[in-house]
Amino acid sequence: MRLVFAATLFVLAGHLFPQGSWMPLSREVERPYALLVEAAGSTVHTAIRPYRQKELRALVASDTLLPESAIAALDRWAGARNGRKARWGPLLDLHAGAGIDTAQAAIHRIGAGLWYDQDLGERWSVHASGMAWNERLPAYLDSFAIATQLVPGEGIAYAPLAGDARTYSHYDWNAWVSWDPGKRVNLTLGRGRNFFGDGHRSLMLSDEATSYPHLKVTTSIWKLKYVNLFAAMNDIRGADGDPSAFKRKWSSMHYLSWNASKRLTFSLFEAVVWSQGDSLYPRGFDINYLNPVIFYRPVEFNQGSPDNALLGAGFSVKAGQGIMAYGQLVLDEFLLKEVRAGNGWYANKQALQLGVVAREPFGLQGWSMRAEGNVVRPFIYTHSDSRQNYAHFGQPLAHPYGSNFKELLLHVDKSSGRWIHGVRTSMAWLGRDSVYSSGNNIFRPERERRPGLVGVRDFGYRIGGWQEYTVFHLEARSGWLIDPNTGTRAEVLALYRSRSLAGSEVWTDLVVRVGIVCHFRERHPEQEPRYVLR
C-alpha cells in the first residue's frame, strides 16, 4: 500500500513538470518522489542531481492511478500542472521573526520572483527563474555576511548606503536551454547548480555556492550515466561586489555512475580547477580539459601540473525497503606511507562521508530519517595558488565548512497530506587558525602554514588543530504545503545554535520565525564564518 501511495504521488508529480525539463534542485520539491527513486530496482542514478522528469516518469508504467478529474482540478498558475508547453509560476518568500537574547532582535525575509519552463518541440526545452530578496539576518548569519559579503548560496549581500547596515539586498537567477540530440545524450547550457552525491552534504560538488555558467553533457548507456561538467566560476576577493573586478576561474568535472545491480551503485569523480591567469601569465580556458575521458588527470598529476585536481569515489547500497546506505571518499593529495605513519602530514588531504537514509522505515508511513557523518582533513580543497581553490563566489563548492572538521547530523521528517514537520540537528568539531593556517580556511594558500625549524612545518596537522571548537545546530519546523511546484509552504520554525570554544564562553542564537517560505532552491542555514574574504 505504501508503494501504491508513493506511485500515486509520483504520477501526480508527472503533471507538475514536463517530461523533458529538469527538476528544481531542492530536496523539498523532490520529497514526493524520494521513496520510488531510492527503491531497489530504480533506474534513476540517485547521486546525480537535478533529476530529469522523464527519468522519474519511467519508474511508473501508466497514469491510470490518478483520475483525470483530479489532474484537471489541480490546474492553476498558468498551466503549471496541465501539460501545457509553456508553464510559469510565482516564487515568494515572506516571513519574519526574532532572535532572542541577541543583538540582532528582529529579522525578516522578503523575496519575490518567477519561474518559467517551455518545451520547444520534443528535444528542446528552456528554463528561467530568479528571485530578489531584502533580508535582515539572524545574528550568526549576519556575522557570515559581514565576513564574506555574501548571503549563503544567494549572492552578494548588498548593504544600504545609509541607515540600517544590517539589512541586505541580494538576488540569484538560473537559466538554461536543454537539448536531446539523441536518445542517450543531453546537452544543457546555461546558468545553474549541480549536486553529486546521495547525502545531505556532498564532499564532491554541492549546491552551497551560488549559480554559475556551465555546459553539462549527460550520457546514459546501459546501466551507466556519465556527466561532463564544464563551468566558469569567479574569485570575488577584493572586488567589493563589483562584477567587473571578479577574477575568472574554470573547472572541468567528470562523474560516472554505475547501477551495478538493483541495490548497489558505484561512482567515480574527478575535478580540475584552474585560474585564467593574469596579465603576466594570461591563460583563459584550457581546451585540453575538454577531453571527455575520466581519470586522464593522474597522468598530468605525476608530471607536476600546476592546477588543482580532486579524485573521488562513491557508493550506495539499498539495504532494505526504503533504506539506503551511502558514502563518498575524496582525495586531493596523499602518500600512503604518510597515512600509515599517522604523523599529520599536511598534504594528506582526504574527505570521507558515510550515511544512511530511511524512507518510511518499519512501516512508519510518511516518516523519513537520515543520519550522516563527514570527516574532512586539513588543507583539502586548498591550493598553493589560492585562486585555484575549490570554491566559487566566495563559498566552498563542497561542504560549507570548507576543511578541517568532523560533523554528525540527524534529520527526522514526517509528512501527512500537505502537512510537513521536521527536526534537523548537527554537531561539528572544527579547527581554528592562529596567525598561521591550520588548514581550515580554503582561501589561504598552503604556504601560510606554521613555521618549522626550516621553512614551514609539514607535520602535526590534525582535525581540530590549532584549536578545536564546536558548533551545534538544531531546527524544528512545521509547515503546510501551498505549492508543490516550488516547495512553497506556510511554515513556523524555531532554531537554536551554539558555538563553544574550550575555556571561553558559549555563543548562542535562538531564533523563531513564521511566514511563507519558498523551497524552490535549497536553503543553507548551517553556516560558520571560518574566513574573511579580502
pLDDT tens-digit readout, 220-251: 999 999 999 999 999 999 888 888 889 999 99
Cell numbers for 210, please give them: 551560488
Most confident of 14-28, 63-77, 481-495: 481-495
Q: What is the pLDDT of residue 8?
A: 36
Highest mean pLDDT (candidates 13-22, 197-206, 383-392)? 197-206
Nearest to 174 by CA among 136, 130, 116, 133: 130
- Report residue 12 as a C-alpha cell: 501526480
Query: What phi and psi, each to the nearest 5 degrees, are found at residue 297?
Result: -65, -35
Q: Which of 199-213, 328-342, 497-511 is modeled with the greatest confidence?
A: 199-213
Q: Picking from 63-77, 202-216, 364-378, which range would have the lowest pLDDT averaged per residue?
A: 63-77
Let me know: does 89 contact 485? Beta carbons within 8 Å. Answer: yes
Instruction: Assign 2 a pLDDT band (cuts: 50, 70, 90).
Output: very low
518 touches 93 (CB < 8 A): yes
The per-residue pLDDT of the chain, averaged, comes to 86
Q: How many Å apart are CA 51 and CA 157, to the nearest integer?
A: 30
pLDDT for residue 101: 65
78 band by pLDDT with thresholds 50, 70 and 90? very low
Alpha carbon distance 275, 250 (integer Å): 6
pLDDT value of residue 285: 77
Confidence category of residue 455, pLDDT binned at 50, 70, 90: confident
Look at residue 68 in the predicted model and tell me its pLDDT: 36
Q: Letter for the amino acid at 203? A: L
State the average pLDDT over residues 159-185. 85
| pLDDT of 429 over the 70 cut | yes
Centroid of chain to Cα 25: 9
Does the structure show a pLDDT above 50 at 207?
yes
Strands (E), 260-386: 264-275, 308-320, 323-333, 349-359, 367-376
- In this model, does residue 201 exceed pLDDT 50? yes
Of residues 165 and 270, more confidently modeled = 270
The mean pLDDT of 480-484, rounded to a whole number, is: 87
CA distance 479 to 28: 12
Cell of 367: 516518516
The secondary structure of residue 159, as a DSSP letter, is P
Q: How far, in Å, CA of 215 to CA of 209, rounded?
A: 17
Q: Quick one: pLDDT at residue 72?
A: 39
pLDDT at 17 over 80: no
- How confident is the model at residue 65, as a pLDDT? 32
Per-residue pLDDT, 99: 85
- Give me the residues paired with residue 109 across strands: 95, 135
* pLDDT exceeds 70 at position 18: no
For the segment 510-522, the average pLDDT, to the nearest whole number, is 94
Q: 418: closest CA among 319, 327, 347, 484?
A: 484
Q: What mean pLDDT comes out for the span 466-480? A: 95
Q: For residue 260, is pLDDT > 70?
A: yes
Listed ranges 63-72, 131-140, 195-204, 271-280; the one with the highest mean pLDDT: 195-204
- Residue spans of alpha helices (H) in 260-343: 297-301, 336-341
The stretch 457-482 carries a mean pLDDT of: 93
CB 296 within 8 A of CB 305: no
Query: What DSSP character marks residue 282?
Result: B
- 93-126 exposure pattern, b = at least 16 Cβ within 10 A, e = fewer: bebebebeebebeebbbbbebebebbbeeeeebb
More confident residue, 25 or 69: 25
Which region among 23-32, 295-304, 306-315, 485-494 has the lowest average model confidence (pLDDT)? 295-304
- Residue 21 is predicted with a pLDDT of 79
Nine-digit cell string for 33: 518522489
pLDDT of 474 strictly over 60: yes
Query: For residue 305, how many C-alpha atoms fall within 13 Å in the half-sphere facing its CB?
Result: 20
Contacts of residue 463, defined as CB under 8 A and 6 or more positions apart, other chains included, come to 375, 376, 377, 378, 404, 405, 406, 429, 431
Q: Hey, which residues does 428 pair with through a beta bridge? A: 407, 471
Q: Which residues, 6+ apart, have CB-to-CB distance to 216 below 8 Å? A: 186, 187, 188, 189, 194, 227, 228, 229, 230
pLDDT band, very low/low/confident/very high, at 104 (cuts 50, 70, 90):
low
Closest to 175 (Cα-Cα) out of 186, 185, 189: 189
To the nearest 10°, report the CA torsion of 234, 240, 244, 245: -70
Report the candidate in 525, 501, 530 with the shortest Cα–Cα distance to residue 424. 525
Determine the longest span between alpha carbons in the chain, in angstroms: 78
The one-letter amino acid code at 56 reads L
Pairing mode, strands 395-396 and 391-392: antiparallel
**Residues whose CB falls within 8 Å of the CB of residue 375, separated by 6 or more in sequence, listed in order:** 351, 352, 353, 406, 407, 463
> What would the pLDDT profile of 35-54 be if each residue is shown by its tens digit?
888 988 888 999 999 998 77
Structure-block grid coordinates of residue 487: 516547495
Range 109-129 average pLDDT: 92
State residue 16's pLDDT score: 44
Summarize the confidence of residues 92-113 as an average pLDDT: 87
Domain residue spans of the chain: 2-517
Q: Of all residues in the chain, what percent carry a pLDDT higher than 90?
A: 58
Task: Select from 201, 253, 216, 172 the least CA-distant residue to 398.
Answer: 201
The whole-number pLDDT of residue 109 equals 96
For the chain, percent of residues with pLDDT exceeding 70: 87
Among residues 60, 82, 83, the alpha carbon closest in space to that of 9 is found at: 60
- pLDDT given at position 341: 86
SS (H, E, C) 445-506: CHHHECECCCCECCCCCCCCCCEEEEEEEEEEEEEEEEECCCCEEEEEEEEEEEEEECCCCE
**What span, in angstroms and rounded, lies between the C-alpha atoms of 429 and 440?**
11
CATH pick for 2-517 out of 1.10.132.20, 3.40.50.620, 2.40.160.130, 1.10.490.10: 2.40.160.130
